[in-house]
Chains A and B, each alone.
Chain A
Amino acid sequence: NAGVTQTPKFQVLKTGQSMTLQCAQDMNHNSMYWYRQDPGMGLRLIYYSASEGTTDKGEVPNGYNVSRLNKREFSLRLESAAPSQTSVYFCASSEVTGAGYGYTFGSGTRLTVV
């Protein structure tokens, strides 16, 4: 099935631990994004990659790093997890940056930091 695949689906971390969230798309899209979703706050952009080899900060980048490994894969790393990073994380891709009609989202990673 074509789409965006995120791993893992669930994760519990202790404060200070690190982890990497993985995302892969098989639609040959150029742009990829990482969002976090918190109750009542909508989706907020963490980082994005307009094309292979480029990454840029979004609205809430502090505490995160990203890597665009190749055209298919875009990972999000938490170096030292904090309780404020408890959230649901979504990866998305689109053929053209900002083309909201063409965004395909993954099913999310639910992260709890204790």
Chain B
Amino acid sequence: EDQVTQSPEALRLQEGESSSLNCSYTVSGLRGLFWYRQDPGKGPEFLFTLYSAGEEKEKERLKATLTKKESFLHITAPKPEDSATYLCAVNNAGNMLTFGGGTRLMVKP
């Protein structure tokens, strides 16, 4: 059975304090790993897709990386507007997405 585990569940940072969010996965036949951002009261919004170990993607202060067992979302010099819940999901050979429980990020000014 596919599993996706995100840690930590919650993370409080000061503005400018860089950190990383972790997404560990076990999946039969990875066909893609996806990161989403979810703001309170809204649906998830797509951020990145990673397909193979060693791949990296960047967008503003966010950088996503992938190994054979986990993915990291690195946040460099975060701002309060980066506060949100970040979700990780994997696509397996059955072509369905399995989501992790999310990391709630709070960035204090």
Chain B nearest CB, measured from A5 CB (Å): 11
Tell whether, in the assembled complex, residue A100 and residue B46 are in contact, meaning their CB atoms are under 8 Å apart.
Answer: yes
Classify the interface of chain A: helix, strand, loop or mixed: mixed
The number of chain A residues touching the other chain, given as a range, is 20 to 34
Tell whether, in the assembled complex, residue A98 and residue B43 are in contact, meaning their CB atoms are under 8 Å apart.
Answer: no
Within 8 A of B (CB), among A11-69: 40-45, 48, 58
Within 8 A of A (CB), among B57-107: 87, 89, 91, 94-97, 99-102
Q: Which residues of A contact B42 (CB under 8 A)?
A: 107-108
Known: A40-B9, A40-B101, A58-B96. A101 touches B43 (CB 8 A): no
Tell whether, in the assembled complex, residue B97 and residue A45 are in contact, meaning their CB atoms are under 8 Å apart.
Answer: yes
Chain B nearest CB, measured from A66 CB (Å): 15
The one of A48, A99, A105 in contact with B45, judged by C-beta atoms closer than 8 angstroms, is A105
Query: Please, how many angstroms separate the alpha-carbon atoms of A4 and B94 in the complex?
Result: 24
Interface centre among B44, B45, B87, B97 (most CB of A within 10 A): B97
Query: Please, how many angstroms separate the alpha-carbon atoms of A100 and B27 in the complex?
Result: 15
Tell whether, in the assembled complex, residue A100 and residue B97 are in contact, meaning their CB atoms are under 8 Å apart.
Answer: yes
Within 8 A of A (CB), among B4-56: 4, 9, 31-32, 34, 41-46, 49
15 A-B interface contacts by CB (under 8 A) = A40-B9, A41-B101, A42-B4, A42-B100, A42-B101, A43-B87, A48-B96, A98-B91, A98-B95, A100-B89, A101-B34, A103-B34, A105-B44, A105-B45, A107-B41
